[in-house]
């Protein structure tokens, strides 16, 4: 199985380097905004583009990714909300199992159905333990997944879930308060989870300020994912990136 991009996650973690991923929802961009985002992300030394959404209504996933790839070297990682969101033009796929929920369809069911198609895509597959954390109000992901999120103050549940995911073979752990979450994940939870796992830890959902991104990294996040805040104000890309990368300069905790 291909592992080239995953190795960059591992290498960066080893070196205490923090990464920044800009989330692009194909429904919310057009050719012009993609060009603008790509330029800003290149200038800000963004590490990855995650592409996907809980709901993808339009049908231009392939075109969106092709346009990104044609204009920069930033790797594109699919962050699919459903098995239909697979594009061979991407570099890798977060192969998500919703380990915080108890909906068998999202733990293994949809994977079984889509496995031959995913394998045929030739994409690098990154097995990812996906954990939805309560973000203060229902989000699209919490509704669509039909699964309860982990309560925001139950750090031990999050820690045990991440440990179990890692021991089951997940190569990445992604804790997500959901897109546009009112309350992003608390640093205390990030700190506890990161201290019990060795896999790279991805954090996203409701991060709107560079300060929050910085504190998340200090607490142990390895990759910060930001979508909504950048959709509203793309000039934030540079500030967010500087905040995230500043942690690597002084060294991770």
3-state secondary structure of 23: strand
Q: Does 34 bind ligand 1GP (CB under 6 A)?
A: no
Which residues between 192 and 231 bind ligand 1GP (CB under 6 A)?
204-207, 225-229
Instruction: Report, in Å, the least distance between residue 49 CB and ligand 1GP.
Output: 12
Instruction: Report, in Å, the least distance between residue 171 CB and ligand 1GP.
Output: 18
Instruction: Report, in Å, the least distance between residue 218 CB and ligand 1GP.
Output: 19
Q: What is the 3-state secondary structure (H, E, C) of 191-248?
A: HHHHHHCCCCEEEECCCCCHHHHHHHHHHCCCEEEECHHHHHCCCHHHHHHHHHHHHH
| CB atoms near residue 149 (< 10 Å) | 22
Please give the size of the binding site for ligand 1GP, defined by CB under 6 A: 14
Which residue from 75, 131, 87, 86 is spatially nearest to 111, judged by alpha carbons? Answer: 86
User: Which residue of the chain is nearest ligand 1GP when measured via CB?
Assistant: 204
Instruction: Report, in Å, the least distance between residue 23 CB and ligand 1GP.
Output: 5
- Site track for ligand 1GP across 168-187, x = CB under 6 A: --------x--xxx------
Q: Are 220 and 191 in contact (CB under 8 A)?
A: yes
Please, which residue, 4 or 101, has the CB nearer to ligand 1GP?
A: 101
Instruction: Report, in Å, the least distance between residue 213 CB and ligand 1GP.
Output: 10
Give pairs for 106-109: CB < 8 Å, separation 24+.
106/145, 106/147
Q: How far is CA 237 from CA 35, 37, 43, 71, in A?
A: 14, 9, 9, 17
Please, which residue, 210 or 227, has the CB nearer to ligand 1GP?
A: 227
Please, which residue, 120 or 233, has the CB nearer to ligand 1GP?
A: 233
Binding site for ligand 1GP (CB under 6 A): 23, 176, 179-181, 204-207, 225-229
């Amino acid at each position: 199985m291909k592992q080239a991009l995953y190795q960059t996650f591992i290498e960066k973690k080893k070196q205490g380097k923090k990464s920044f991923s800009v989330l692009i929802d194909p429904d919310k961009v057009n050719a012009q905004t993609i060009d603008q985002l790509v330029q800003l992300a290149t200038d800000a030394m963004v590490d990855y583009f995650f592409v996907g959404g809980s709901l993808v209504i339009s049908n231009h996933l392939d075109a969106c990714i092709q346009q990104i790839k044609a204009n920069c070297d930033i790797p594109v990682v699919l962050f699919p909300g459903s098995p239909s969101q697979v594009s061979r033009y991407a570099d890798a796929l977060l192969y998500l199992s919703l380990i915080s929920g108890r909906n068998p369809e999202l733990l293994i069911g949809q994977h079984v159905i889509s496995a031959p198609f995913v394998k045929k895509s030739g994409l690098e597959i990154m097995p990812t333990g996906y954990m939805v954390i309560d973000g203060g109000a229902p989000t699209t992901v919490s509704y669509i997944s039909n699964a309860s999120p982990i309560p925001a103050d139950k750090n031990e549940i999050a820690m045990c879930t991440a440990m179990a995911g890692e021991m089951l073979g997940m190569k990445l752990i992604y804790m997500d308060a959901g897109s546009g979450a009112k309350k992003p994940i608390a640093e205390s939870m990030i700190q506890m989870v990161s201290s019990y796992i060795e896999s790279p830890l991805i954090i996203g959902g409701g991060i709107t300020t560079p300060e929050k991104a910085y504190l998340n990294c200090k607490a142990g996040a390895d990759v910060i994912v930001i979508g909504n805040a950048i959709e509203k104000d793309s000039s934030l890309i540079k500030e967010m990136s500087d905040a995230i990368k500043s942690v690597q300069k002084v060294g991770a905790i």
